[in-house]
Amino acid sequence: MSVNYVARPWENRLFRQCRRAWDLGARERQDYERIEPAQVFDLGEAIHDALDVYYFPGMWDWNRAIVRPLAVAGFEKSMRRQRDAYTQTRELSADQVQDWEEHLELGTGMLQRYFEWASDVDRFTPIQVASQFDIALPDPADPDSGLITADGRPLQFRVRIDLVVIDDHELYWLVEHRIVTGPQWPELDQLRLDEQALTRSWAWQLGFLADLEGTIHNEMRAAVPAAGKPKVHVRAVPGAGGITTQRATESFRRTHIPRAKLEIARHGVAVALEIQDMTDPALRMYPNPSWDNCSTCAYRAPCLAITQGIDERPILDASYRKRVSGDFELGRLGSVWGFVPEIHRVAEYRAPGAGQ
């Protein structure tokens, strides 16, 4: 146990969904993870890995014709890494092999089309990609003081962002990449209320002592588009922070949402209050079963045992382990920034596409 209590946005989400799942999985709680991955691959993770290479600040000045194949190689490497982790102790079925190969082809095509589209709409310069940083959590009742737990541990929040860019007017924007699988794009209000984007924005502002102009939601549809030249739809909608602009084709959508200072600050207060709830010694622990939560829950087997009054320990011992890796996976592209107790940078960089 470290001196500080470290919370992470994924733990807040788990806490909100189901306290039992949070208790089993959060690092400051029982800290269990599955020994074997539940799925062969996650297309979104592999696309994120490719975009981390594409928007790597150190290569932004490079000819895009050189960077594109590196980004595609990053995607392929991620797909292989995930498949290899899954097959460490088991074989893939013929259907799984076919599914992996089809998604490898789908992802490669998505990226090639995205690079064409993005060359027209990327009117910014990336300054951080896949960065992880820590902030001391401010006390909502006294923002000049940091929060501490009841037993005196300073509360720290560990956040990872996709991308931060600076535009032609020298304004900072936080970019969120999203893979969309359904036929419809999410409602604009879903993007406005995007809890992850707001949490990351609030933390980034605190960590880097700079204001964000807003959030950019960069959505990619995981599908092969209809043949022919894509139609472009553009719209502008007034909002609290300014004019929201949106540019979309069948395959890609980019939405710029200017954010009011108050909106981000209020979200930060909610995050801090929630973490105070999570660390309250009087916290009540109960499960929150619903098929929305349970169908994808990593802790369904031990949870069922607990609910049925069966000892869950044999299940945890056989299929789970205490987490073995840190928050930041060494060898993956990105950087780690520390702000506690003073600003310093400990970066782990790896040449994109290396070591395949």
Percent helix / strand / coil, the chain, rounded to 5: 40, 25, 35
Question: In the complex, what is the shortest distance from the CB of residue 85 to ligand SF4, in angstroms, rounded to a whole number?
Answer: 22
Question: In the complex, what is the shortest distance from the CB of residue 190 to ligand SF4, in angstroms, rounded to a whole number?
Answer: 22
Tokens 């032609």 locate to: 168
Contact pick of 269, 293, 315, 339 for ligand SF4 (by CB under 6 A): 293
Contact pick of 297, 316, 333, 336 for ligand SF4 (by CB under 6 A): 297
Query: Rounded to an integer, what distance in angstroms lies between the CA atom of residue 83 and that of residue 41?
Result: 6
Query: Rounded to an integer, what distance in angstroms lies between the CA atom of residue 26 and that of residue 5?
Result: 11
Closer by beta carbon to ligand SF4, 269 or else 298: 298
Tokens 């990053």 locate to: 74
21 binds ligand SF4 (CB under 6 A): yes
Question: In the complex, what is the shortest distance from the CB of residue 13 to ligand SF4, in angstroms, rounded to a whole number?
Answer: 12
Is the bond into 341 cis (omega within 30 degrees of 0)?
yes
Question: In the complex, what is the shortest distance from the CB of residue 343 to ligand SF4, in angstroms, rounded to a whole number?
Answer: 38
Closer by beta carbon to ligand SF4, 14 or else 136: 14
Contact pick of 20, 27, 81, 178 for ligand SF4 (by CB under 6 A): 20
User: Phi/psi of residue 181, each to 5°?
Assistant: -105, -25
Question: In the complex, what is the shortest distance from the CB of residue 22 to ligand SF4, in angstroms, rounded to a whole number?
Answer: 8
H helix and E strand count, the chain: 11, 16
16 binds ligand SF4 (CB under 6 A): no
Contact pick of 5, 6, 8, 18 for ligand SF4 (by CB under 6 A): 18
Closer by beta carbon to ligand SF4, 24 or else 220: 24
Q: Are 102 and 40 in contact (CB under 8 A)?
A: no
CA proximity to 251, closest of 227, 270, 285: 227
Number of residues that bind ligand SF4 (CB under 6 A): 12
Closer by beta carbon to ligand SF4, 25 or else 268: 25
Classify the phi-psi angles of 130: left when phi > 0, otherwise alpha if psi is within -120 to 50, otherwise beta.
Answer: left
CA distances in angstroms from 302 to 23, 294, 311, 337, listed in the order given: 12, 12, 8, 36
Question: How is residue 338 written in tokens?
Answer: 């520390």
User: Phi/psi of residue 21, each to 5°?
Assistant: -65, -40
Closer by beta carbon to ligand SF4, 245 or else 293: 293
Closer by beta carbon to ligand SF4, 18 or else 136: 18
Which residues, numbered 251-290, are part of the site for ligand SF4 (CB under 6 A)? 287-289
30 binds ligand SF4 (CB under 6 A): no
299 binds ligand SF4 (CB under 6 A): yes
Contacts of 339 (CB under 8 A, 6+ apart): 133, 134, 135, 136, 207
Question: In the complex, what is the shortest distance from the CB of residue 27 to ligand SF4, in angstroms, rounded to a whole number?
Answer: 17
Closer by beta carbon to ligand SF4, 20 or else 158: 20
Q: Are 259 and 212 in contact (CB under 8 A)?
A: yes
Would you say how long the chain is, in residues?
A: 356
Q: What's at 101, amino acid-wise?
A: E
294 binds ligand SF4 (CB under 6 A): yes
Point out which residues bind ligand SF4 (CB under 6 A): 18, 20-21, 287-289, 293-294, 297, 299-300, 303
